[in-house]
Amino acid sequence: MGTGELVHDRESAVDPADLPYGAAVTESGRISRAQEYVPDAPNGPFTTQQLSRIDEALALATRDTGIDFSIYLGPLGTEDTRAAAEQLHDRLGEQGDDAVLIAVSPGERVVEIVTGANTTQRVPDRAVKLAVMSMVASFKEGDLTGGFVGGLRMMADQAGSRPAH
């Protein structure tokens, strides 16, 4: 056997008919297989454009104000939605002081906004109520994305820019 000659293991040779679709036996005996590339698409209720709008609004509001805005979208329980939203806010721990949680439950048709100890000073309840009214107007039309973006923008405008220490 000369140097560089390919070694073929004839004993374990595979029958090309047994191979799955897109596979082939190469000259060296290796099995080369092509697989279809399936790009990831969001499987939730939002399109890619809507998700990117929400993401951009969240990032801009958080960066401009220094407040941790977050959006929860899911069930809040049927009895006490306020308590459920505050439990979610508890899970932020100490960061909850500088956070604003927007909890929306389309199933119960309720929106709860919880502000922390520091963010209550910067975004007073009256401003939050105004943002809620704007969001509700969008949600009534079935426009969840528009409601999130509008509410975030209003609260970020009210909070102003990040305070200088």
Partner 1 sequence: MAEAPGGRTRGLVGYPALVSILETTLVFAVIPLAICGVFALVTLRTKFAGRPRYRPGQEWDHPATWWSANPVSAGTSGKPSTDRGGARGNW
Question: Which residues of the shown chain bind partner 1 in the complex (CB under 8 A)?
Answer: 44-45, 47, 54-55, 58-59, 61-63, 68-75, 81-82, 85-86, 88-97, 99, 105-107, 109-117, 119-120, 123-125, 128-129, 131-133, 135-136, 139-142, 144
Angstrom distance (rounded) from CA 150 to CA 94 = 27
Residue 62's contacts (CB-CB under 8 Å, 6 or more residues apart) are 68, 69
Q: Could you tell me the two tokens for 74?
A: 């899911």
30 vs 91, which CB is nearer to partner 1? 91
In the complex, least distance from residue 85 CB atom to partner 1, rounded to whole angstroms: 8
In the complex, least distance from residue 36 CB atom to partner 1, rounded to whole angstroms: 22
In the complex, least distance from residue 160 CB atom to partner 1, rounded to whole angstroms: 17
In the complex, least distance from residue 164 CB atom to partner 1, rounded to whole angstroms: 20
15 vs 141, which CB is nearer to partner 1? 141
29 vs 81, which CB is nearer to partner 1? 81
Q: Could you tell me the two tokens for 103?
A: 């909890």
In the complex, least distance from residue 77 CB atom to partner 1, rounded to whole angstroms: 12
Eight-class DSSP state of 97: G
Strands annotated E in the chain:
23-25, 31-33, 68-73, 99-105, 110-115
2 vs 44, which CB is nearer to partner 1? 44
At residue 89, φ and ψ (nearest 5 deg) are -65, -35
29 vs 106, which CB is nearer to partner 1? 106
Sign of CA dihedral 150, 145, 143, 92: negative
CA-wise closest residue to 108 among 70, 129, 77: 77
